[in-house]
Chain A
Amino acid sequence: MAFRSVNISERNFLNRLDIRLILLIFCLNVIGLFNLYSATHGPHSNDVEPLFVQQIVWLLGGWTIFFILTFLDYLWVNKIVWLIYILNVGALIYTDLMGKVVLGGQRWIDLHFFRYQPSETMKLCIILLLSRILVNRNPMGYGMGLRELLLPAVLIFIPFALTVKQPDLGTAMMLMFIGGTMLFFVKIRKSIIIFIATLALIAIPLAWKYGLKEYQRNRIFTFLSPDQDPHGTGYNSIQSKIAVGSGKFFGKGFRMGTQSQLEFLPERHTDFIFSVLSEEWGFVGSIIVLLTFAFLFKVCFEISLQARDKYGALIVIGVTAYIFWHMFVNIGMVIGLLPIVGVPLPLLSYGGSGMLTTMVGLGLVSSIAYRRYLF
């Protein structure tokens, strides 16, 4: 990396904003809204669906928070991160005990104007808390040992266990992936990695037998051979593949996707939003979205690298991991590479908690970019 000296006074307010980041997010938002409009409006509806209007409201709220966070120094978060974590764990416990049951999972707290999903904000919470803790965990650069890892592991495990219990395996996995990525980034000793890997190999069969519910096991079976039960558990996977493939190179056109418009695709405004996009915009549209994400990750890494402090760098890594893992699991599932797991696609799927969490995370990234070193 070339070191270049820039006079700070040359930089005005707009110059300090990372415009690329903002444009990429905005791009995904626009694509997302178009796509959501198609997914939520049946072949004959002329009225605008309330669902779609709500998403616009979340989006406007998200951008407001994004800019507020951009202009605040992210260090303030440090002061309250423990408090947020504790409150969030409290909310998770509350959810487990008396939350709203939707689609077989107890995931939401009904706030009347908004169904709050504590496991969603927990992802961000973990990022912030781990960033704070990990800043000092590897002073000598040898990598973290068991002692250093104990506290982060416990902090990840508590919300993980609570989310598994809901049961929401997808979100719980996300917590683990995000936390794991951050730990990896700070560096873990090789011996520990081998130890954990061995532990995992032993744990997987046990988890399969005792930890997973029947429907979760079925999903994995279905993933391995979806054609065995095309009208039962394999239905979603097959219909999604048909939707994606039938889009061919250029797609069927806006609101012309028969798989989504005629309801062959399930959950098309949330988990299977990418199928809608692939069906209607084809290979071209799908690739544009993938590339946009790739650019976003690239920009994020650059921001992380130029962060003013290690704390900021870690937050950006966490947020990037958050978006990436969601994208990985969601698109992987939609195109039939991964089992069906209920994980939304950030910035494209419908959902208030997800949208706000993503925008808060990206707001922090923007804030870090605003305060980055420029040599």
Chain B
Amino acid sequence: MSEYISNPDEAREFQGRYRTLYIFIITIISIFFMRLIWLQVIQGNELRHYSEKNRIKQNKILAPRGLILDREGKALIENLPGFEVIVSPQYLESIKDLANTVGPILGMEPPKVIEKIQRSKRLNGPFATVRLKDNLSREEVFRLKRIRLDTPGLEIRESILRHYPLKENGSQLFGYVGEISKTEIPKLNAKYKNELIFAQSDIIGKSGLEEHLERDIRGTDGVSFIQVDAHGRETITEIPNIYGEQIKDQEPTHGNSAYLTLDREIQEAAYKAMSSRGRIGGVIAMKSNGEVLAWLNTPAFNPNDFATETPTKVWNKLTSDPFKPFRNKVIQDHFSPGSTFKPFVALAALQDNVITDKTTMFAPGRFYFGGRWYHNHNKNGEGYVTVYDAIERSSNVFFYHMGIKLGVDKMYNYISLLGIGQRTKIEMAREAAGRLPNSEWKKATRGEEWQPGENLSTAIGQGYVTVTPLQMAIAYNTIATEGKVVKPFIVKKVVDHEGKVLLERFPEIVRDITLPQPNGYKIDPQNFKIVKEAMRRVANGPAGTARALKIPGVQIAGKTGTAQVMSFSADQIYSLCENRPIQSRHHGWFIGWAPWDKPEITVAVLAQHSCHGSSGAGVVVRDIMETYFKKYHPELIAEGLKKKDPRAKKAAAAAAPADEE
């Protein structure tokens, strides 16, 4: 059956073929040998690096942002520990499966989960993690942890939730935080070049102080290195770390804390005074040295809604609100000052010797000038008045005379000394300058000559002149302190996590306008004293427009004002403001300080569409000041209460509703 290899020729031929085969095999093995040298010896280090990159994942350890505290260290913005659920799309086996298992746990529709992941993949690429939900409940964390091991790419992480204990109160000032968007990354990296580095999924301040203080309160994120398997799951082994010392975990550095000049108690009282009356507008309270004590706007948004994902409903409601809950009206919007402008005109008239404090003027109910009637808010007029009476009772006609006598350019020269029409340079973004007109301005912007009639409207704070509440506070504070224009500020100091003070700010007087200023004008102390006395009478005189505003033991000085939202005909002027639709009602102003002779606190309140200065805005000012003096000078209040005998109190209460311009 079998054939032996007996033929020597064939045997020789066989040997040849053995050799051919063997050479072929050796050649192949040599090629493999060389390939192994290439991969393992020549490219070895590089490929080892790739294998390390495969298994070592950098995890960012979020650094908490610094706290924002009030002047006494009470929290205004704090951090709460929480949990968030993160998805790494690259490790997902099936987005659909994930959505179906995770969606019900988180109370999200599966298609919404899919959409969220797809959207992030589109915007940020497949390797960026997606934050599915923040601020998980304990139940959610527990249920997610159970499915985690079977769901590659799913991760539960500790997170830090920014919390705003004051909620809506002051939200435009404090701002809110949110995840950085892809377009913001290059912008912020350019802005904070060499200082901060921003990367995907970072939480940043989006507005207000959160945005403004980014540099100070942002912490440095730490890094931890963990070993993951091919499915992105963390694994622990004894496999040594070839990077050794180089990749030690880095602990995060807590952001610095900022102490504000704000007083939380006063801030809360201010918010209560506004919101309990349903007031819309802006409030600024500051110490006479420029330290801001309270700052808020109504209506407002709740920044806690923005710390996690904002529900569309909430967002739509906020953006469609006609009273603009996102506006920081204290500095971003400017309004007609109305009668609150009169003290400035009085200062100008006194300083320019147009009048003295003895000069009297006849102030009827209306005034004919340049072919038309100018109205007084009080139909019956005030009779013969001095500058004291004119301010106490807010006479329009008196100030029409002042306007005519001074002319716009003189008013401009004096009043600009007080800071009207200029930014206060407070450390907040997007401050509006307001407008203080003069003839030059009108020619430049409107191309028209200044009309004599416009002097009249300007003198009573209507017309072109517009101001921000903060400007008014500064200007009134200048009257209160008899000439000292201060620079308002809100950040007192920045302290690192070890308590070291990195930055501290002190009150600053920008200028003393009792001394001649660059434009050659000044206002003498005795003129301030006259106007201060007049403004004391506003709240304390028998005919004062704000005589209802009383704090036991402390005398308030200030001025009411109403700013027309639109022009009305003569009969409409005297119709009842409350009968109009809310958006055409007057804005009420009250700006004042206390105690009138030794000023400590200055408050400006704009109560939009509240119709009246005193009962609209003044009551808010009174409440704020009362809180201030109860806290810082309880002895004054106690003394005031002791002095007041019960009968006089009753009488005062009966007279109280009397109001107004």
Contact = CB atoms under 8 A, between A and B. Distances in A.
Interface of A: 1, 43-44, 75, 78, 135-136, 141, 181, 184-185, 187, 231, 239, 241-249, 252, 256, 258-259, 261-264, 278-279, 282-283, 286-287, 290, 293-294, 297-298, 301, 304-305, 307-313, 317, 320, 324, 328, 331-332, 335-337
A184 B17 CA distance: 9
B26 interface: yes
A161 B99 CA distance: 44
Interface string B240-259: 10000000000000000000
A301 B21 contact: yes
A243 B51 contact: yes
A196 B599 CA distance: 110
B40 A309 contact: no
Interface stretch (B30-38, B204-212, B526-534, B581-589): B30-38
B3 A244 contact: no
A305 B15 contact: yes
A141 B13 contact: yes
Given A245-B46, A249-B41, A309-B4, A259 B35 contact: no
Contact of A261 (B18, B25, B239): B239
B197 interface: no
B51 A1 contact: no
B1 A244 contact: no
Contacts of B54: 239, 242, 258-259, 262, 264
B48 A248 contact: yes
Interface of B: 1-5, 7, 9-10, 13-15, 17-18, 21-22, 25-26, 28-29, 31-33, 35-37, 39-41, 43-48, 50-52, 54-55, 90, 227-231, 235-237, 239-240
B2 A248 contact: no
A75 B37 CA distance: 44
B3 A310 contact: yes
14 contacts: A135-B2, A187-B17, A242-B51, A245-B47, A258-B51, A263-B231, A264-B229, A304-B18, A308-B2, A309-B5, A317-B21, A324-B28, A335-B32, A336-B35
B47 A242 contact: yes
B393 to A, nearest CB: 81
A75 B32 CA distance: 37
A287 B18 contact: no
B40 A262 contact: no
A80 B320 CA distance: 91
B2 A309 contact: yes
Contacts of B35: 335-337
Contacts of A317: 21
A263 B230 contact: yes
Given A264-B55, A290-B33, A136 B3 contact: yes
Contacts of B240: 256
B230 A135 contact: no
Q: Which of A231, A287, A293, A336 is most buried by chain B, counting CB atoms within 10 A of its CB?
A: A287
Given A258-B55, A293-B29, A301-B21, A248 B230 contact: no
Majority DSSP secondary structure for residues of A touching B: helix
Contact of A43 (B39, B41, B48, B237): B237
A258 B13 contact: no
A248 B44 contact: yes
Contacts of B47: 241-242, 244-246
B230 A264 contact: yes
Contacts of B31: 337
Contact of B14 (A43, A258, A313, A328): A313
A63 B143 CA distance: 52
A293 B25 CA distance: 10
A55 B67 CA distance: 63
Given A185-B17, A245-B47, A313-B5, 18 more contacts: A136-B3, A141-B10, A187-B17, A239-B54, A241-B47, A242-B54, A245-B39, A245-B46, A248-B44, A252-B239, A258-B52, A258-B239, A263-B229, A283-B36, A294-B29, A305-B15, A331-B32, A337-B32
Contacts of B37: 283
B237 A278 contact: no
B32 A294 contact: no
Contacts of B26: 294
A324 B25 contact: yes
Contact of A262 (B1, B5, B21, B230): B230
Q: Which of A185, A248, A278 is most buried by chain B, counting CB atoms within 10 A of its CB?
A: A248
A287 B41 CA distance: 12
Contacts of B1: 75, 78, 311
Contacts of A324: 25, 28
Contacts of B228: 262
Nearest to B5: A310
A222 B3 CA distance: 48
Nearest to B126: A231
Contact of A287 (B33, B43, B52): B33
B25 A294 contact: yes
A301 B18 contact: yes
Given A141-B13, A309-B4, A287 B36 contact: yes
A290 B13 CA distance: 28
A247 B40 contact: yes
A297 B2 contact: no
Nearest to B237: A43
Contacts of A308: 2, 4
A19 to B, nearest CB: 21
A44 B149 CA distance: 15
B36 A244 contact: yes
B22 A301 contact: yes
B29 A1 contact: no
Contacts of B235: 43-44, 262
Contact of A332 (B32, B33, B230): B32
Nearest to A291: B29
A45 B46 CA distance: 30
A127 to B, nearest CB: 15
B40 A278 contact: yes
A245 B40 contact: yes
A293 B230 CA distance: 32
Nearest to A251: B40
A248 B4 contact: no
Contacts of A259: 51, 54-55
A283 B90 contact: no
Given A141-B9, A141-B10, A298-B22, A328 B15 contact: no
Q: Which of A278, A311, A335 is most buried by chain B, counting CB atoms within 10 A of its CB?
A: A335
Nearest to A231: B90
A249 B42 CA distance: 10
B36 A311 contact: no
B527 to A, nearest CB: 80
A184 to B, nearest CB: 8
Contacts of B22: 297-298, 301
A246 B4 contact: no
A337 B48 CA distance: 19
Report the 7 A-B pairs with minimum CB-CB distance, sorted nearest first: A245-B47, A246-B51, A248-B44, A309-B2, A262-B229, A43-B237, A245-B39
A264 B228 CA distance: 10
Q: Which of B51, B52, B229 is most buried by chain A, counting CB atoms within 10 A of its CB?
A: B51
A310 B3 CA distance: 6
A304 B14 CA distance: 10
A305 B17 CA distance: 11
Contacts of B36: 244, 278, 283, 286-287, 290, 335
B15 to A, nearest CB: 7
B89 to A, nearest CB: 11
A336 B47 CA distance: 13
A354 B198 CA distance: 56
A244 B14 contact: no
Contacts of A242: 47, 50-51, 54
Given A43-B235, A305-B15, A248 B29 contact: no
Contact of A310 (B2, B21, B25, B41): B2
A293 B228 CA distance: 36
B29 A241 contact: no
